[in-house]
Amino acid sequence: MDKLWNKEVEKRFFSEAIKFCSPEQLFYTTDDNKYLAYWPKGYEGEKSTLQSRNSLIGKFTEKWTADLLQTVIKEKELFAVPGAICEEIALTKMSPADVAISRNKNITQKPEDIVAIIEVKMSIVWNWGFKKGNVLNCIGDYKKHTGNPGLLRSDTMLKAIGKSINIRVSSFKAAKIPIIIMGNTPITDSYYAKVDQLKISGIIQGFWSVNPNPLDDNEKNIKETTKRGFYRFDNIKELTDSFTTILSEKQDFFSSMKNRKELGRIIEIANKESTYEKKAEMFLKLIRE
């Protein structure tokens, strides 16, 4: 796979899904019997909800992401494993990792084999019209319909944050594993400061969009936030370089609330070690006691 998310990927989803689903399971039906992926802005007819597409697009995007990441890490002797389970770090059968990057292909993983956790938060971005004969037409980007796809939904962001925190606090064994939230849309400006703070605090290493052009007519959209808590990738090389960096760095998550006297004591003891690495190891050991 040498391309990031685009309209052709969405067309492929609908083309594959329509082989075993009815149009009513994939599209909204307007008063004049048109099939649309989203309600257009300004539509005044009767509206219904559509839940049946959610699980289908969820499975599709997780598989698509795993395939994309396998391309990115193919030279690192690593594997992109969808649905990975690791009970020790709160990745259960009921709530597995969407994709784990691991040293092996097993569904059931050990913490020491997982080198990154990817949570996939993607959905259909553009609006699509469907006609008999499996004819699909793109009829506008997300600014022209009433849906809030991907990372533009607040509840999607909150779910991603909540699951990441659950992994982080599950065990010290999760402290060395980067967590990436991968989407295919920008984020709303109300989350700019939040995603930067989540990155600075070490809970999440980034909200990454792999959709270079989510808006039509080359309309501008956010490339990155101030601290790169959110980042939009425009090509495979950018994504590969970022994964190379994050997988090569040995990092540790730590979080604590101690009074300044205790914190000063820990720093003083750690500072007696002979190297920066040993100072860090002692600091982490003491702060977790």
**pLDDT tens for each residue of 51-78:** 889 999 999 999 999 999 999 998 889 9
Written in H, E and C, the secondary structure of the chain is: CCCCCCHHHHHHHHHHHCCCCCHHHHCEECCCCCEECCCECCCCCCCCCCCHHHHHHHHHHHHHHHHHHHHHCHHHCCEEEEEEEEHHHCECCCCCEEEEEECCCCCECCHHHEEEEEEEECCCCCEEEEECCCEEEEEECHHHECCCCHHHCHHHHHHHHHHHHHHHHHCHHHCCCCEEEEECCCCCHHHHHHHHHHHHHCCCCEEEECCCCCCHHHCCCCCECCCCCEEECCCHHHHHHHHHHHHHCCCCCCCCCCCHHHHHHHHHHHCCCCCHHHHHHHHHHHHCC
* Those residues with Cβ within 8 angstroms of residue 21's Cβ, 6 or more apart along the chain or in another chain: 52, 56
Q: Which of 29-38, 93-102, 128-137, 181-190 has the lowest mean pLDDT?
A: 128-137
Domain range list for the chain:
7-248, 256-289
Domain topology for 7-248:
Restriction Endonuclease (3.40.91)
Spatial distance between the Cα atoms of 200 and 202, rounded to a whole number of angstroms: 5
**pLDDT tens for each residue of 222-254:** 999 999 999 999 999 999 999 999 998 888 777
Q: What is the pLDDT of residue 51?
A: 85
The rounded mean pLDDT for the chain is 92
- Decide which of 94 and 1 is more confident: 94
